[in-house]
Amino acid sequence: MIVLDNVTKIFYSRHVKNTVFKDLNAVFPSQTSVALLGRNGAGKSTLLQIMAGSLIPNSGRVLSDGNISFPIGLASSLHPFMSGAQNTKFIARIYGADTDSLKKFVEDFAELDEKFYLPIRTYSSGMRSRLMFGINMGLKFDTYLVDEVSAVGDAAFREKSESLFKERMKESGAVFISHSMGLVRRMCTAGAVLENGRITYYEDLEEAIRAHHRNIQAADINDD
Amino acid sequence: MKGATNELRPVQTTVSGRVLPRFSTMRTIVALCLREVTTSNGDTAGGYMWSVVSPVIGIIGLSYIFSAGFRTPPLGENFAIFYATGLLPFTMFRSVCGRVEFSIRASRQLLNYPRVTVFDVLISKFIMATITQAAISALVLAFILYFYQPDTTFHIVQILQSFIVAALMGFGFGVMNCAVKTKLPLWEMLWNFVSKPLLLVSGVIILVESLPRPYSEWLLWNPLVHITGRMREAFYVDYVGSYTDLRFPLEIALVSAFIGMAGIKLFARELLDT
Residue B165 CA to its chain's centroid (Å): 9
Read off the pLDDT band of B18 (50, 70, 90): very low
Residue A71 has what pLDDT?
Answer: 82
Q: How far is residue A193's CA from residue A205's CA, in Å, rounded to a whole number?
A: 10
- Determine what percent of chain B is predicted with pLDDT higher than 70: 92
Confirm whether A79 is domain-assigned: no
Task: For B79-96, write each residue's pLDDT tens digit.
Answer: 888 889 999 999 999 999
Q: Give the integer Cα–Cα distance in Å for A138 and A127.
A: 16
Chain B CB within 8 Å of residue A90 CB? yes
Q: B43: nearest CA in chain A?
A: A81
- Using alpha carbons, select from B223, B236, B87 the residue that is nearest to residue B158: B236
Contact A142 B268 (CB under 8 A): no
Q: Cβ of B27 and A93 within 8 Å?
A: yes
* Reported ipTM: 0.80
- Reported as a single tens digit per residue, the pLDDT across B97-149 is 999 999 988 888 788 888 888 888 999 999 999 999 999 999 999 999 998 88
Rg (CA), chain B: 21
Domain that holds residue A215: 1-69+145-153+173-224
- pLDDT value of position B116: 84
Q: To the nearest whole number, what is the mean pLDDT of chain A?
A: 85
> Is residue A12 assigned to a domain?
yes
Q: Nearest-5° angle of CA A192, CA A196, CA A201?
A: 15
B11–A52 CB contact, under 8 Å: yes
Confirm whether A30 is domain-assigned.
yes
> Interior CA angle at A199 toward A146 and A43, to 5°?
55
pLDDT surpasses 50 at B4: no
Confirm whether A106 is domain-assigned: no
Evaluate whether residue A5 is within a structural domain: yes
Residues in chain A with CB shorter than 8 Å from the CB of B15 are 56
* CATH classification at residue A65: 3.40.50.300
> Is A221 within the bounds of a domain?
yes
d(CA A128, CA A98): 22
- Split into its structural domains, chain A has a count of 1
Residue range B38-67: average pLDDT?
84
Q: Quick check: A21 and B28 in contact, CB under 8 A?
A: no
Least confident of A58-72, B123-137, B174-188: A58-72
Strand residues in chain B grouped as ranges (E): 9-10
Q: Is residue A1 part of a domain?
A: yes
Q: Number of helices (H) and strands (E) in chain A: give both, helices first.
A: 7, 8
- The answer to the question of residue A118 being in a domain is no
- Rounded Cα distance between B92 and B133, Å, is 6
